[in-house]
Structure 1
């Protein structure tokens, strides 16, 4: 008689073998920014150290595009050359901001790592911003240098930009060539020094700059190392091996998002894997062609991209046998949608994972494995290593298992705060370093389930859109008396931005007028695509607040 296999017991044994005393991923309590949290006992101390160590990977692929290939050695040499140029020609010092405003390119990545080599702070501006938004970002973080691609350089015309602007097409290759052979800059960096600022939409109507420290990103690196070790343990490999990884990752989200920067570009430099960068607007055939050509093993796609694959006429034209991990990222998806993916996509049948995370956390809060999703449809899995998650009531008190409340988390991944915004930081992070996510859910059997996003948030194709920013923009139009923006279901994007506009008496305006007005002032994904113009006032509650649930467009 064969004994039954206890999977949970096996997982617990493997985990203990990796995280226990004296083990590679041993967790120990340390005081970080005034709060005691679990951290890896053996860890790197700066991103500059990670860059220096990556040179040992030599000729292995680090960055790959459809027409370029950059090895670890080439990347490291370019990053050091650029860092030296920024220091010697432009006076960039530790703590200075280096703005990056561009589409996905190898130069984006080189610029990021050059900033880390200098102990500077890389600021990933949203490449879809329009001039007014760019102007806000530059004023907000005041970078010492701005690095742009040609398309964004053109958007700067007419703006009062009083800092050096370097183009990726012309200036960076010249500077890198001029300083070829440069050594690693000698700088001192502390773990809790800022390393990067990424913008997230704000409920106040302005984007907020989430500040991530070296500790945050180094913890993300160790989380991915740990995940790779678990995979090795479950597939017959050596979980303690430090040999370079043979995994190859397809990058399809913008580099100014944590999905691509923090959870692909940064950890893969530490593990020796390859990052295959998809460039341009998403086209399923081009993406599938890259997967086939580069033997991609891992892909994290937003649901909109996954939906395009469902609509594809003939996936059998491509050899996708290398793809063994397929993750949904950036936006929630329904169990029914996940099942359609399993039914249609061969690589999703036993590889589909889902997760819950936010910019303020640097990486995932929780991850649901294929087994989790099959056994518990709708789950977002258990908190990842190092994360403590609680559900709290409106007074901030933890609630019992299965009771809905606000998801709160504490971990070495939680951001330092919002750049230049003490009030927003204090509202989001408690004195003992708990992050109030603003999202609502339950924890059942240790697993997180989301029940509601931030009250007004619209999730359009993986992008977070807050109505108040659009409403404030529309309020500037002379024909608009008041307005409300909500999300409406969309079969491809998840939600589309919809606007109910109450027009002023005596003013004439069309949907096309308002669409053009917002398109000039906001990134394209924030521009409403459905409109309703009326002279009836918005439905409001007793306090005068618009009741969004009663708004129909």
Structure 2
């Protein structure tokens, strides 16, 4: 009988003895050992920080004068790690004294990335409180769901999200809605006082944040992330990146001696990738984060920041990279210091990889596969795997184990398709306030049952399908059922189905296939307006097609593959 497979990381075996000892030996930064984590053994990093606030404190002690946050406006004062730590302590004092925040309380925020947003995270976590990251694009109704689920003591915001927070039922019921500018002013007035924080005793398995992830029911669930999860993210990614750099092909770009690593900070803080990058990677490795101009992400602004700040790495989704590399003024900007490209959540098209090789030869590219529930950990696709298995999502990341299992939970042998399971110290605590969903997602020995199906071949993982036909639009996860529920509430719509259609830059776009009620003739724009009134903009269909009926199978399920074919003859459609 074929042997079940478990993917595990063996990247350090590619190093010579001396380099392996330097990186992973006793006392080294990436020394690993097996410890008890929430009742089950897991491989962890021995030299890790005890919790998230210790990461910023360590950076303030060891690299106090390195820039932490810089800005597009050259006249704006860049913030060092020491300054950020001092301000974070002041934020904690204000949160404690003015809003009564203490260990275990929830503090919610809906805002664009910014200095005040980052400092709110640090101040909240240093009190042992739990940060609730609300999607900055959510409507008031969507915000009410997240707020009602997590029960925050106070709501912070800025810009348009602050306006939407003020329109929520929670605000009407008396939950304070506070501008981040107001909080910052109060904290800045105390920033010159001695750096003593109200503090809290924090265990690494205490909850640190609640990050929302759309479930297959279409209602966002609150994935509860621990301090351990964030700390682990920085270390597993650092080890994987170091080994890839050391074992990569000749001609690989290197950060110049003495140069500070720097990156545009484009991934939103309410995504696990953005939060982990700001809270773990930046303080661990002394990375300067450059905040882009306010408003929608702009490719020329990113290129200008790359030029002006000597950025050494780009992080984002393939959509960002497409737009930068194909910009007509790309050659006018100096991108020679960019050594690494990091992404996740969407695959790199072969055409995009060829474009990188043409315009930025020698740059190292890593595409990660994971999800919020695993703190983004799962597999890495880079180096040899990207060359030899470009259609895969790569091999297991450091300290991570990956299995493909049948629906009874039995690990499957090579080549057989099943549900992807992930195990390691990056696995979340569970869904906030939802024991049933947590039990469905986590096995008793803390393997995460993902919604993805795949197969293992030649030591790498290939994804076969996504449950509920997840759409990934510009790095945003869009679950069709949520949009379908909204569509069928329209008085002129009898039935509806949502699918993803390919898009060169965004990866996919949302398409709605709509069956009007008898006698009704809704327009494509009316359909879009209806969705926009209830859901975030990235969920609004870019394409609308009208049909007489949807194709159902004998069990009553829509056959979505038939909808991906040409529109039915004789019906009007709008694209």
Q: Same fold (TM over 0.5)?
A: yes
Show the counterpart of 1:260.
274
Which of the residues 119, 122, 125 maps onto 1:116?
125
RMSD: 2.4
Q: Structure 2: 5+ residue runs without aligned partners?
A: 1-10, 251-256, 568-575
Provide closer, same or farther for how the CA distance between residues 391 and 59 of structure 1 changes in structure 2, counting only shifts above 3 A: same
CA distance in 2, matches of 1:244, 1:350: 19
Residue 432 (structure 1) aligned to one of 429, 440, 445: 445
Q: What's the offset of the Cα at 1:333?
A: 2.4
**Are 2:502 and 1:496 equivalent residues in the alignment?**
no
CA–CA distance in structure 1, aligned partners of residues 125 and 183 of structure 2: 20
1:550 and 2:562 correspond: yes
In 2, are the aligned partners of 1:166 and 1:172 still within 8 Å (CA)? no
| Structure 1 residue 16, shift from structure 2 partner | 5.8
Which residue of 420, 429, 432 maps to 1:407? 420
Counterpart residue number, 2:39 = 34
Contact 1:220 1:413 in 2 (8 A): yes
| C-alpha contact (below 8 Å) 2:35/2:42 kept by paired residues | yes
Q: Distance in 2 between matches of 1:288 and 1:217?
A: 29
Of 293, 296, 303, the residue aligned with 2:318 is 303
**Is this contact kept in 2: 1:355–1:368, CA < 8 A?**
yes
Aligned to 2:524: 511
How far off is 1:21 after superposition?
Answer: 5.0
CA distance in 1, matches of 2:520, 2:14: 70
After the TM superposition, which residues 278-297 of structure 1 pair with which residues of structure 2 at under 5 Å, given as runs?
278-279=292-293, 280-297=295-312
Change in 2 beyond 3 A, CA 1:370/1:231: closer
Is the CA contact (8 Å cut-off) linking 2:91 and 2:183 kept in structure 1? Answer: no
**Residues 338-386 of structure 1: CA distance to partner in whole angstroms, max 9, x if unpaired?**
223323x225x44222221211111231112233312332233221111
Shift of 1:483: 0.8
3-state secondary structure, aligned to 1:192? coil
Confirm or deny: 8 A CA contact 2:91 2:187 kept in the other structure. yes
Q: 1:264-283: CA deviations, max 9, x gaps?
A: 44221233221112243122
SS for the counterpart of 2:263 is strand
Structure 1 unmatched runs, 5+: 1-6, 237-242
Distance in 2 (CA, whole Å) between partners of 1:445 and 1:483 is 41
Q: Are residues 1:226 and 2:235 paired?
A: no
Q: Residue 191 of structure 1: SS of its match in structure 2?
A: coil
Alpha-carbon contact 1:245-1:273 (below 8 Å) kept? no
* Structure of greater relative contact order (alpha carbons < 8 Å, 6+ residues apart): 2
Q: Structure 1 pair 353/52, CA: closer, same or farther in 2 (3 Å)?
A: closer
* Secondary structure, counterpart of 1:464 in structure 2: strand
Provide the rounded CA distance (Å) in 2 between the counterparts of 1:159 and 1:104: 21
Aligned equivalent of 1:468: 481
**Aligned twin of 1:240:** none
Equivalent of residue 102 in structure 2, options 69, 76, 93: 93
Q: Residues 249 and 264 of structure 1 are in contact (CA less than 8 Å); yes or no, is this contact kept in structure 2?
A: no
Alpha-carbon contact 2:551-2:562 (below 8 Å) kept: yes
Q: Say whether the 8 Å CA contact 1:263–1:363 is kept in structure 2.
A: no
Q: Distance in 1 between matches of 2:427 and 2:207?
A: 12
Cα distance in structure 2, aligned partners of 1:341 and 1:24: 31
Q: Is the 8 A contact 1:147 1:168 kept in 2?
A: yes
Q: TM-score, normalised by structure 2?
A: 0.88
Residue 318 of structure 2 is aligned to residue 273 of structure 1? no
Q: Closer, same or farther in 2 for the Cα pair 1:96/1:359, shift >3 Å?
A: same
TM-score of the pair, normalised by structure 1: 0.92
Whole-angstrom CA distance in 1 between matches of 2:489 and 2:190? 48
